[in-house]
């Protein structure tokens, strides 16, 4: 592995993206690339007073931005999309260096940002409310959607920039300002994205300063957003533990929240499944991004009649898949983000062993020149029965495998975890597919047929139930959460009829 140039390459990419040199060479926050484990940058942490100032400035920017016509606001997001398109390779490569994702996934992450910008620019001409039949003569009733205020965004390391764009593109066309605190593990792609936003704002012109702010730091800065009275909506993506900490604090001040938390995603493979297609879908969902997607496949529930065939083939894939530098085109599994993640993986495997699991893979892979990086061979873990370790999300490439006899049993197993993000069924039987998608089927926010659990498109609303937090981001009508709704009733007659036939006649 060529390690010598990684820091240099990072700095070259950041410079090209318009980030000032002092932003990545000076500061207390040391950034390591998971590809080699080496230091690649030093970044200054935002002080609490600077963060407070940014929140106040964002609120001030909101006061004028909310009066700009929505299609004009959409123009800013459209131009942001163009800036991202022009730099897809640069920013995508930086995503790979900072997170360890494969290059195609780094580019894919930026493509997702472009897609949501396109979506939001179109949406800016479609923000629309209902007209509702009034029970009173000569009355009109309608809904109006208004901008909400400053939207706080807290994001996780594994989608270091896409999550900001899902929130920011919608929030901005809806007339809001945005203050973002990315993961402390991935500040570089955030700095680069912020620079591209500033570039787009300069091109469009007349954009209030401070409309999109960036705070660099750890959970303490996140808490500042959680408690800021100027922030009526906080969108927080991360672990369920983070959600448990922020949700009560937000509730205490009656703030809105979009919580996008941990997943524990399952696929059911029925006897009729197309095994070749299933194998490909399972391999990508479970091993892609080294198991570090919120939608990564963590549980495979296989019909007993095809179990041996599927698992034998899957084992071969697990033992042969290329674990290597994610910049290498042949690599399918890159590194874990850090040592903590590796330890959590090994602890989960130890627990599975004590539940009588048979484990294929799971060991550390040491690459030349990357002794302080954490590469692992993905683990396929066959279990005789559901175990506690299966009910937890371990953010690493571990796939637990269980056997089933009838579909009711499989659906019960799949729903028998605290999380409810993504799920799939592999079947060619329409009854099984529809049963899985029905009210008594999968209890997740995402339920797929003959597609893996990971890899959502931006057109649909994204999010999950139960301990995944209940939030919805991205497409469909997710925009409504970023606005406040006013119900307006207008009397254009000369009488004053009251609703529900109530009378209240006063002497005139
Ligand atoms: P994490 O919870 O450690 O951190 C996420 C973010 O929350 C970081 O920016 C962190 O600084 C901040 N944070 C942590 N504690 C906080 C607190 N008490 N107050 C305010 N901010 C706080 O998560 P991570 O390790 O970066 O990411 C992995 C996790 O994120 C996994 O559980 C994964 O499933 C989840 N995730 C969920 C989705 C989704 O859409 N459901 C998407 C991506 C990741």
Residue 375 corresponds to which tokens in the numbers above? 């590469």
State the distance from the centre of ligand 1 to the C-alpha of 294, rounded, in angstroms.
Answer: 10
Same domain, 196 and 227: yes
Q: Which of 98, 294, 467, 473 is catalytic?
A: 294
State the distance from the centre of ligand 1 to the C-alpha of 245, rounded, in angstroms.
Answer: 11
Return d(Cα 304, Cα 403) in angstroms, integer.
6
Whether residue 435 contacts residue 417, with contact meaning beta carbons closer than 8 Å, is answered with: no
Mean pLDDT of 360-384: 97
CA 312 to chain centroid: 33
Q: What does DSSP say about strands 29-32 and 39-43: parallel, antiparallel, or unpaired?
A: antiparallel
- C-alpha distance across the termini of the chain, in Å: 90
Mean pLDDT of 344-364: 97
Whether residue 227 contacts residue 251, with contact meaning beta carbons closer than 8 Å, is answered with: no
Same domain, 187 and 294: no
Return d(Cα 390, Cα 387) in angstroms, integer.
5
Residue 321 lies in a domain: yes
Mapped onto helix, strand or coil, the DSSP state of residue 291 is helix
121 C-beta closer than 6 A to ligand 1: no
Same domain, 300 and 386: yes
Query: Is the per-residue pLDDT at 2 higher than 70?
Result: no
DSSP H helical segments within 272-338, as ranges? 275-287, 307-320
Same domain, 362 and 240: no
Q: Report the pLDDT value the prediction gives residue 508, as an integer from 0 to 100.
A: 77
DSSP H helical segments within 228-274, as ranges? 240-252
Residue 498 lies in a domain: no
246 C-beta closer than 6 A to ligand 1: yes
CB atoms within 10 A of CB 315: 15
Mean pLDDT of 2-30: 92
The count of domains in the chain is 2
Residue 136 lies in a domain: yes
Tokens 């069924």 sit on residue: 425
Q: Report the pLDDT value the prediction gives residue 3, as an integer from 0 to 100.
A: 52
Q: Report the pLDDT value the prediction gives residue 4, as an integer from 0 to 100.
A: 59
Return the residue whose CA atom lies nearest to atom 42 of ligand 1. Answer: 294
Q: Which helix (H) or strand (E) holds 42?
A: strand 39-43
Q: Report the pLDDT value the prediction gives residue 400, as an integer from 0 to 100.
A: 98
Q: Report the pLDDT value the prediction gives residue 5, as an integer from 0 to 100.
A: 86
Same domain, 304 and 426: yes
421 C-beta closer than 6 A to ligand 1: yes
Name which of 96, 95, 172, 82 is nearest 127 in CA terms. Answer: 172
Same domain, 92 and 207: yes
Mean pLDDT of 470-494: 97
Its domain, for residue 331, covers 265-461
Name which of 412, 415, 303, 314 is nearest 358 in CA terms. Answer: 314
Name which of 488, 506, 388 is nearest 134 in CA terms. Answer: 488
Query: Is the per-residue pLDDT at 12 higher than 60?
Result: yes
Residue 261 corresponds to which tokens in the numbers above? 């938390």
Share of the chain above pLDDT 70, in %: 99
180 C-beta closer than 6 A to ligand 1: no
Tokens 């307006």 sit on residue: 488
State the distance from the centre of ligand 1 to the C-alpha of 396, rounded, in angstroms.
Answer: 15
Query: Cα dist. 392→416, 417, 420, 423, 467 in Å?
Result: 11, 8, 12, 15, 11
Catalytic residue flag (residue 294): yes
Q: Which helix (H) or strand (E) holds 461?
A: strand 461-462
458 C-beta closer than 6 A to ligand 1: no
What are residue 55's phi and psi, to 5 degrees? -65, -45
Q: pLDDT digits over 133-179, tens only?
A: 999 999 999 999 999 999 999 999 999 999 999 999 999 999 999 99
Residue 491 lies in a domain: no
Q: Report the pLDDT value the prediction gives residue 188, as an integer from 0 to 100.
A: 98
State the distance from the centre of ligand 1 to the C-alpha of 243, rounded, in angstroms.
Answer: 8
Q: pLDDT digits over 63-105, tens only?
A: 999 999 999 999 999 999 999 999 999 999 999 999 999 999 9
Catalytic residue flag (residue 117): no
Whether residue 257 contacts residue 231, with contact meaning beta carbons closer than 8 Å, is answered with: no
Q: pLDDT digits over 161-173, tens only?
A: 999 999 999 999 9
Q: Report the pLDDT value the prediction gives residue 381, as an integer from 0 to 100.
A: 98
Residue 4 lies in a domain: no
Same domain, 83 and 163: yes
Whether residue 84 contacts residue 91, with contact meaning beta carbons closer than 8 Å, is answered with: yes
Q: Report the pLDDT value the prediction gives residue 113, as an integer from 0 to 100.
A: 98
Q: pLDDT digits over 414-459, tens only?
A: 999 999 999 999 999 999 999 999 999 999 999 999 999 998 899 9
Q: Which of 109, 260, 382, 393 is catalytic?
A: 260
Kindly state the DSSP code that residue 368 receives in the 8-state scheme.
T
Residue 504 lies in a domain: no
Residue 407 corresponds to which tokens in the numbers above? 């579909």
Tokens 């495979």 sit on residue: 300
In a mutational test of the pocket of ligand 1, which residue from 99, 156, 466 has the highest number of ligand atoms less than 8 Å from its CB? Answer: 156
E-assigned strand segments in 112-220: 131-132, 139-147, 150-154, 177-181, 212-214
E-assigned strand segments in 323-460: 358-360, 364-365, 375-376, 379-382, 398-404, 419-420, 422-426, 446-449
Query: Is the per-residue pLDDT at 492 higher than 80?
Result: yes
Same domain, 251 and 275: no
Mean pLDDT of the chain: 97
Q: Which helix (H) or strand (E) holds 166?
A: helix 162-173
226 C-beta closer than 6 A to ligand 1: yes
> CATH number for the domain including 192?
3.40.605.10
Query: What's the number of CA atoms in the CB half-sphere (13 Å) around residue 159?
Result: 28
**Residues sharing a CB contact under 8 Å with residue 19, sequence separation 6 or more, in sequence order:** 188, 191, 192, 195
CA geometry: angle 27, 32, 34, nearest 5 deg: 160
158 C-beta closer than 6 A to ligand 1: yes
Return d(Cα 348, Cα 133) in angstroms, integer.
57
Query: What's the number of CA atoms in the CB half-sphere (13 Å) around residue 236?
Result: 32
State the distance from the centre of ligand 1 to the C-alpha of 234, rounded, in angstroms.
Answer: 13
Q: pLDDT digits over 255-265, tens only?
A: 999 999 999 99
Query: Is the per-residue pLDDT at 1 higher than 80?
Result: no
> CATH number for the domain including 348?
3.40.309.10
Residue 508 lies in a domain: no
Residue 188 burial by Cβ neighbours in a 10 Å radius (0-12, 13-18, 19+): buried
Kindly state the DSSP code that residue 146 receives in the 8-state scheme.
E
Residue 310 lies in a domain: yes
Same domain, 89 and 217: yes
Residue 451 corresponds to which tokens in the numbers above? 């597609």
Mean pLDDT of 279-302: 98
Same domain, 346 and 452: yes
Residue 326 corresponds to which tokens in the numbers above? 């994610």
Query: What's the number of CA atoms in the CB half-sphere (13 Å) around residue 312?
Result: 4
Tokens 């099984």 sit on residue: 432
Same domain, 277 and 176: no
Same domain, 219 and 186: yes
């Amino acid at each position: 592995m060529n390690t010598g140039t990684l820091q240099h390459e990072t700095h070259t990419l950041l410079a090209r993206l318009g980030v000032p040199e002092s932003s990545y060479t000076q500061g207390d926050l040391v950034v390591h690339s998971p590809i080699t484990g080496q230091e690649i940058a030093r970044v200054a942490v935002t002080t609490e007073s600077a963060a407070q100032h940014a929140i106040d400035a964002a609120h001030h920017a909101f006061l004028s931005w909310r009066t700009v016509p929505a299609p004009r606001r959409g123009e800013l997001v459209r131009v942001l999309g163009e800036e991202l398109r022009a730099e897809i390779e640069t920013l995508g490569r930086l995503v790979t260096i900072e997170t360890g994702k494969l290059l195609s996934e780094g580019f894919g992450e930026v493509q997702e940002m472009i897609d949501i910008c396109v979506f939001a620019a179109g949406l800016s001409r479609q923000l629309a409310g209902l007209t509702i039949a009034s029970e009173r003569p000569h009355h009109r009733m309608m809904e109006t959607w208004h901008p909400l205020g400053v939207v706080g965004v807290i994001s996780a390391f594994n989608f270091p920039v896409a999550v900001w764009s899902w929130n920011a593109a919608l929030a901005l066309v809806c007339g809001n300002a945005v203050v973002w605190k990315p993961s402390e593990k991935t500040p570089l792609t955030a700095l680069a994205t912020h620079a591209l936003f500033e570039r787009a704002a300069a091109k469009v012109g007349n954009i209030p300063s401070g409309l999109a702010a960036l705070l660099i730091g750890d959970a303490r800065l996140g808490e500042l957003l959680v408690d800021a009275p100027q922030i009526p909506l906080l969108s927080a993506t991360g672990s369920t533990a983070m959600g448990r900490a922020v949700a009560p604090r937000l509730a205490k001040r009656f703030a809105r929240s979009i919580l996008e938390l941990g997943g524990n995603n399952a696929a059911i493979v029925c006897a009729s499944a197309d095994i070749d297609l299933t194998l490909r879908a399972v391999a990508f969902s479970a091993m892609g991004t080294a198991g570090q997607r919120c939608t990564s496949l963590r549980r495979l529930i296989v019909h007993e009649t095809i179990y041996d065939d599927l698992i034998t083939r899957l084992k071969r894939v697990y033992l042969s898949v290329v674990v290597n530098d994610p910049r290498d085109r042949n690599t399918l599994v890159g590194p874990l983000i850090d040592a903590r993640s590796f330890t959590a993986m090994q602890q989960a495997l130890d627990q599975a062993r004590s539940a009588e699991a048979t484990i294929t893979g799971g060991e550390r892979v040491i690459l030349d020149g990357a002794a302080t990086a954490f590469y692992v061979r993905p683990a396929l873990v066959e279990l005789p029965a559901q175990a506690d370790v299966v009910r937890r999300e371990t953010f690493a490439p571990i796939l637990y495998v269980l056997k089933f006899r009838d579909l009711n049993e499989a659906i019960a197993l799949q729903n028998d975890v605290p999380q409810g993000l993504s799920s799939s069924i592999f079947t060619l039987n329409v009854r099984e597919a529809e049963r899985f998608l029905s009210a008594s089927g999968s209890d997740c926010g995402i339920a797929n047929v003959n597609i893996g659990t990971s890899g959502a498109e931006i057109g649909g609303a994204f999010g999950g139930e139960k301990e995944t937090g209940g939030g919805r981001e991205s497409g469909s009508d997710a925009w409504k959460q970023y606005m406040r709704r006013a119900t307006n009733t207008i009397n254009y007659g000369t009488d004053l009829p009251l609703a529900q036939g109530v009378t209240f006649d006063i002497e005139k």
